[in-house]
């Protein structure tokens, strides 16, 4: 177990600084998990995190050994875990709106989220980036960052104004749920983005091969009479884009990887030192294609839930570091969009509120230690997107969660905070619950 | 008005053709520039004609439209007393299915002495030069070379700053499609200047660093302490696909304005081979800054440089014919 020493001198010095807003917040008696420093410090009444205004002043095992500042609002974490707020690198807001998304996010322990550019209007113009940031700020729950469209209108033909979008605040570039299919356009996107050191995020699915498939190609699809999407559709684009990243020197990131073949390609690319990264989402390590059951449209996601061997490969790749991050891939849909024959129903599921609990299965099942699990959900995505988040370091934003990794509960779509209820995990028993969420030093959620 | 002295014969250029800067030695480049100096002065006088090309036929063979370069060559040949024919092949023979070599053979039968060739394909002038008996000057082949442009750029710089050796030159913009950039990289490198390229990655050819240049993607970094800022035209007509998102974004990051120019040396010269896309690769104010922009001077130097090149090749022709 790592430990970290933070001197009281530093704390005292900082304490004399005028407080920008409100009283300081002192979280005490918590097991501190900080992926940035590698610290996993057992709960101790003398340890904790002190926030002042929007900033963490100090964190560590003995910061309150002398005393807790007199004016502090003290929150006793009762031995539960205290970690940086989760950074969700892939959500869609869609029709759900900022309030519903914000409520779902903070209930799930997410303090920063990057929203895909497939909004209406599409985020291919600076004004939309600024508009979304403004709206999200007004709601004041989760911090919303935006992707910029990689191509104008998400049409896959002409690259978008990446430089200016990045200046306006776009954190990475993607065509959202659409693959950048044309190899020349992808080359130009990677090449142009590399000019500014920007990240291009690909939805890897060879669309002509995926065709009109609605679930994973295989025995289950054949039995159900549903058209299938072969797993090769993912690997083909991944292999192609790795070559293009090598050609251009660009940074490519693959979203929601779901197959062993694609992971093998990414593993090899990383071993060669290429700027290739990827994430996955809880459905791909917690579910397999059998979740489709009798045409359960909540299990219709993109890419589709794969076979068991792919699911096992995803877990192995999370454990060995091939998969850098876990994102919720939150995709809210109205009931109308899902209450349809399977082939006609929309792809996607909500995931913000179940992100931590389902991800903690990796810890409970012995695939990851708790700190590594938190790292995949906070620091790692923050680093990929260049966000100042995911750390409990002094000076970092006061975005925190208190959670109990052991508390069991059952996902019930009807009780989700999200306006949309299309969770592929509806009815699933899970273990791990967010108790408190703090954004910029403000408590925005309490269980 | 005083009539200029007739310059002494030109003997220092041993090549039959002028297909590119690559392969020319520093003394050869210096000889062409020195010779051009004489013609600069001569062109400023009332009596501009010299008899260096009397009896010679120069054919301007342009497979791509270009008023400026063609006129410059035409004037250069006329001032040396040569006969000039302009042929524009875009709309005539090629449409009838004639190949480049067919055209060359046809022209060859007319016994020209110098062919000035512009073609949209890199290497086309080289191919043509292998099929004709006359001298060939490359007036721009695809994205390959444009040697007289590099020479006129060098002459402009040398006249302003007195040297090429040791200067820091930034070439900015559409390097990928630019023959001007390639010729300038060769020339400036050969003459001891240091060359930086500044462009988005999508407008830079693979492995260009191996031509001995430094590459930058940020104008402010790239222009730092430069003596010369050479802007290039966005060659939209050569672009297959989109190499940058929009002209407004291009100008924001790669267009030359005073803000970016402030990073170069205070007296840095601004150059552009023209025609300019104002507000795209260069701000109008900067382009028209009479204190720093030498864009018009470049045009003037063009005629003198082309006179020197035509003369150099005709001297060699005469040698080959046993007349000199």
Q: Which residue in the set B202, B249, B253 is minimally distant from A188, CB to CB?
A: B202
Q: What is the mean pLDDT of residues B14-42?
A: 95
Nearest residue of A to residue B242, measured between CA atoms:
A158
- Tokens representing A87? 């950074």
Q: Tell me which of A192, A243, A247, A249 to substitute to probe the interface with B (most B C-beta atoms closer than 10 Å).
A: A192
| Residue A129 forms contact with B (CB below 8 Å) | no
Return the pLDDT at B97.
59
State percent of chain A over pLDDT 70.
95
Nearest residue of B to residue A196, measured between CA atoms:
B217
Q: Which residue in the set B241, B242, B253 is minimally distant from A163, CB to CB?
A: B253
Return the pLDDT at A9.
30
| Residue A183 forms contact with B (CB below 8 Å) | no
Q: What is the mean pLDDT of residues B296-301?
A: 96
Checking if the pLDDT of B44 tops 50, the result is: yes
| Residue B207 forms contact with A (CB below 8 Å) | no
pLDDT-based confidence at B2, cuts 50/70/90?
very low
Return the pLDDT at B93.
55
Return the pLDDT at B117.
95
When the pLDDT of each residue in chain A is averaged and rounded to a whole number, the result is 92
The answer to whether the Cβ–Cβ distance between B249 and A152 falls below 8 Å is no
User: According to CATH, where is 3.40.50.1370 located in chain B?
Assistant: 17-145+300-318, 147-295
Q: What is the mean pLDDT of residues B126-148?
A: 93
Cβ atoms < 10 Å from Cβ of A53: 19
Tell me how close the Cα of A395 comes to any Cα of chain B, in angstroms: 30
Sequence-ordered list of residues with C-beta below 8 angstroms from that of A249, at least 6 positions apart, any chain: A191, A194, A275, B201
The answer to whether the Cβ–Cβ distance between B249 and A247 falls below 8 Å is no
pLDDT in tens, A4-14: 322 223 332 33
Tell whether B142 is in a known binding site. no
Tell whether B149 is in a known binding site. yes
Q: What is the mean pLDDT of residues A296-320?
A: 96
State percent of chain A over pLDDT 90.
80
The answer to whether the Cβ–Cβ distance between B252 and A163 falls below 8 Å is yes
Tell whether B160 is in a known binding site. no
Return the pLDDT at B90.
66
Tally of residues, chain B? 324
| Residue A159 forms contact with B (CB below 8 Å) | yes
Q: Tell me which of B203, B249, B254 to substitute to probe the interface with A (most A C-beta atoms closer than 10 Å).
A: B249
| Residue B241 forms contact with A (CB below 8 Å) | yes
Tell me how close the Cα of B229 comes to any Cα of chain A, in angstroms: 20
Tell me which of A233-237, A304-308, B160-164, B311-315 is least confident.
Answer: B311-315
Please answer whether residues A349 and A91 qualify as being in contact, where contact means their C-beta atoms are separated by less than 8 angstroms.
no
| Residue B202 forms contact with A (CB below 8 Å) | yes
Pairing of strands A31-34, A39-41: antiparallel
Whether omega for the bond prior to residue A14 falls within 30 degrees of 0, making it cis, is: no
Checking if the pLDDT of B159 tops 90, the result is: yes
Q: Which residue in the set B202, B206, B248 is minimally distant from A192, CB to CB?
A: B202
Return the pLDDT at A136.
82
The answer to whether the Cβ–Cβ distance between B243 and A184 falls below 8 Å is no
Q: What is the mean pLDDT of residues B180-189?
A: 97
The answer to whether the Cβ–Cβ distance between B253 and A158 falls below 8 Å is no
Return the pLDDT at A21.
56
**Which residues in chain B touch residue A151, judged by CB atoms under 8 angstroms apart?**
none
| Residue B249 forms contact with A (CB below 8 Å) | yes
Distance CA A175, CA A177 (A): 6
Distance CA A111, CA A437 (A): 7
The answer to whether the Cβ–Cβ distance between B201 and A185 falls below 8 Å is no
Tell whether B238 is in a known binding site. no
Tell whether B274 is in a known binding site. yes
pLDDT in tens, B13-22: 889 999 999 9
**A250-262 exposure pattern, b = at least 16 Cβ within 10 A, e = fewer:** bbbbbbbbbbbbb
| Residue B246 forms contact with A (CB below 8 Å) | yes
Tell whether B275 is in a known binding site. yes
State the Cα torsion A268-A274-A279-A284 to the nearest 10°. Answer: -20
pLDDT-based confidence at B8, cuts 50/70/90?
low
The residue behind tokens 């293009």 is A244
**Which residues in chain A touch residue B241, judged by CB atoms under 8 angstroms apart?**
184-185, 188
Which overall architecture, per CATH, does domain B17-145+300-318 show?
Answer: 3-Layer(aba) Sandwich (3.40)
pLDDT-based confidence at B316, cuts 50/70/90?
confident
pLDDT in tens, A71-104: 999 999 999 999 999 999 999 987 668 888 999 9
Q: What is the mean pLDDT of residues A418-432?
A: 92
Return the pLDDT at A113.
96
Q: Tell me which of A160, A161, A245 to substitute to probe the interface with B (most B C-beta atoms closer than 10 Å).
A: A161
DSSP letters for B165-196: TT-EEEEES--TT-HHHHHHHHHHHHTT-EEE
How many contacts does A have with B, using Cβ atoms within 8 A?
A: 49
Fill in the DSSP letter of residue A385. Answer: H
Q: What is the mean pLDDT of residues A122-146?
A: 90
The answer to whether the Cβ–Cβ distance between A194 and B201 falls below 8 Å is yes
- Tokens representing A127? 């004004």
Helix (H) / strand (E) element for B114: namely strand B114-119
Return the pLDDT at A1.
33
- Residues of A classed as catalytic: 329
Checking if the pLDDT of A37 tops 70, the result is: yes
**Top-level CATH class of B147-295?**
alpha beta
Please tell me which residue, B52 or B159, carries the higher pLDDT value: B159
Question: Given CA atoms A61, A67, A69, A74 in this order, what sign does their dihedral have?
Answer: positive
| Residue A249 forms contact with B (CB below 8 Å) | yes
Provide ipTM, 2 decimals. 0.79
* Strands, sheet with A25-28, edge to edge from the N-terminal-most edge strand: A55-60, A48-52, A25-28, A73-76
Listed in sequence order, the DSSP H helices in B45-89 are 67-79
pLDDT in tens, A192-215: 999 999 999 999 999 999 999 999
Checking if the pLDDT of B110 tops 70, the result is: yes
Checking if the pLDDT of A35 tops 60, the result is: yes
Checking if the pLDDT of B5 tops 80, the result is: no
Please tell me which residue, A11 or B24, carries the higher pLDDT value: B24
The answer to whether the Cβ–Cβ distance between A163 and B248 falls below 8 Å is no
When the pLDDT of each residue in chain B is averaged and rounded to a whole number, the result is 91
Checking if the pLDDT of A66 tops 60, the result is: yes
pLDDT in tens, B67-91: 899 999 999 999 999 999 998 776 5
């Amino acid at each position: 177990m790592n430990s970290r020493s933070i001197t009281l001198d530093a704390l005292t010095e900082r304490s004399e600084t005028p407080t920008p807003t409100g009283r300081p917040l002192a979280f005490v008696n918590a097991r501190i998990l900080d992926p940035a420093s590698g610290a996993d410090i057992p709960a101790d009444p003398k340890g904790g995190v002190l926030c002042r205004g929007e900033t963490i002043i100090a964190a560590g095992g003995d910061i309150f050994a002398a005393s807790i500042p007199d004016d502090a609002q003290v929150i006793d974490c009762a031995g539960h875990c205290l970690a940086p707020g989760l950074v969700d690198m892939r959500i869609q807001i869609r029709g759900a709106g900022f309030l519903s998304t914000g409520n779902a996010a903070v209930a799930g322990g997410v303090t920063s989220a990057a929203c895909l550019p497939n909004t209406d209007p599409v985020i291919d113009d600076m004004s939309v980036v600024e508009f979304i940031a403004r709206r999200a700020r007004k709601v004041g729950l989760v911090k919303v960052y935006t992707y910029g469209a990689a191509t104008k209108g998400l049409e896959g033909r002409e690259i978008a104004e990446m430089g200016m979008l990045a200046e306006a605040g776009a954190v990475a570039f993607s065509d959202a749920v659409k693959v950048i299919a044309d190899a020349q356009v992808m080359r130009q996107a990677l090449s142009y983005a590399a000019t500014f050191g920007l990240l291009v995020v690909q939805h890897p699915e060879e669309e002509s091969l995926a065709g009109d498939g609605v679930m994973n190609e295989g025995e289950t699809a054949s039995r159900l009479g549903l058209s299938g999407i072969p797993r090769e559709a993912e690997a083909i684009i991944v292999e192609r884009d790795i070559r293009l990243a090598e050609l251009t020197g660009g940074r490519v990131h693959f979203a929601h990887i779901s197959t062993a073949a694609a992971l093998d390609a990414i593993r090899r690319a990383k071993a060669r030192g290429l700027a290739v990264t990827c994430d996955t989402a809880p459905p791909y390590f917690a579910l397999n294609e059998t979740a489709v059951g009798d045409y359960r449209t909540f299990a219709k996601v993109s890419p589709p839930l794969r076979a068991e061997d792919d699911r096992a490969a995803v877990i192995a790749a999370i454990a060995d570091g091939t998969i850098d991050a876990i994102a919720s891939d939150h995709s809210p849909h109205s009931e109308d969009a899902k209450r349809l024959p399977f082939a006609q129903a929309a792809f996607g599921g909500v995931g913000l509120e179940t992100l931590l609990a389902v991800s903690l299965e990796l810890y409970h099942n012995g695939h990851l230690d708790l700190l590594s699990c938190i790292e995949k959900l906070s620091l790692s995505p923050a680093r990929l997107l260049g966000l100042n988040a995911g750390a409990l370091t002094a000076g970092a934003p006061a975005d925190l969660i208190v959670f109990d990794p052991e508390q069991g509960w059952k996902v019930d779509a009807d009780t989700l905070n999200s306006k949309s209820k299309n969770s592929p995990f509806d009815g699933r028993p899970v273990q791990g619950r967010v108790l408190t969420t703090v954004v910029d030093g403000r408590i925005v959620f309490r269980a | 008005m005083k009539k200029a002295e007739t310059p002494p014969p030109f003997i220092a250029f041993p090549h039959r053709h002028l297909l590119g800067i690559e392969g020319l030695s520093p003394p050869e480049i210096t000889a062409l520039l020195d010779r051009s100096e004489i013609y600069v002065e001569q062109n400023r006088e009332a009596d501009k004609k010299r008899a260096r090309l009397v009896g010679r036929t120069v054919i301007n063979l342009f497979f791509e439209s270009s008023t400026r370069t063609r006129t410059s060559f035409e004037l250069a040949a006329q001032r040396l007393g040569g006969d000039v024919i302009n042929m524009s092949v875009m709309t005539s023979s090629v449409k009838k299915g004639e190949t480049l070599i067919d055209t060359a053979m046809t022209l060859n039968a007319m016994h020209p002495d110098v062919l000035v060739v512009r073609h949209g394909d890199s290497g086309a002038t080289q191919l043509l030069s292998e099929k004709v008996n006359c001298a060939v000057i490359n007036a721009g082949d695809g994205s390959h070379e444009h040697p007289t442009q590099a020479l006129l750029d060098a002459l402009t710089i040398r006249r302003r700053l007195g040297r090429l050796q040791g200067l820091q030159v930034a070439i900015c913009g559409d390097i990928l499609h630019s023959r001007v950039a390639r010729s300038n990289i060769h020339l400036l490198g050969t003459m001891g200047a240091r060359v930086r390229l500044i462009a988005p990655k999508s407008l830079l050819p693979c492995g260009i660093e191996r031509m001995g240049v430094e590459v930058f993607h940020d104008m402010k970094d790239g222009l730092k302490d430069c003596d010369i800022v050479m802007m290039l035209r966005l060659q939209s007509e050569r672009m297959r696909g989109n190499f940058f998102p929009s002209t407004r974004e291009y100008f924001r990051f790669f267009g030359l304005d005073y803000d970016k120019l402030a990073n170069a040396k205070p007296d840095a010269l601004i150059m552009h081979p023209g025609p300019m896309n104002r507000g795209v690769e260069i701000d109008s104010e900067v382009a028209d800054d009479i204190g720093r922009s030498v864009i018009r001077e470049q045009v003037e130097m063009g005629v003198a440089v082309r006179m020197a090149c035509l003369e150099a090749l005709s001297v060699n022709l005469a040698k080959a014919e046993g007349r000199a």
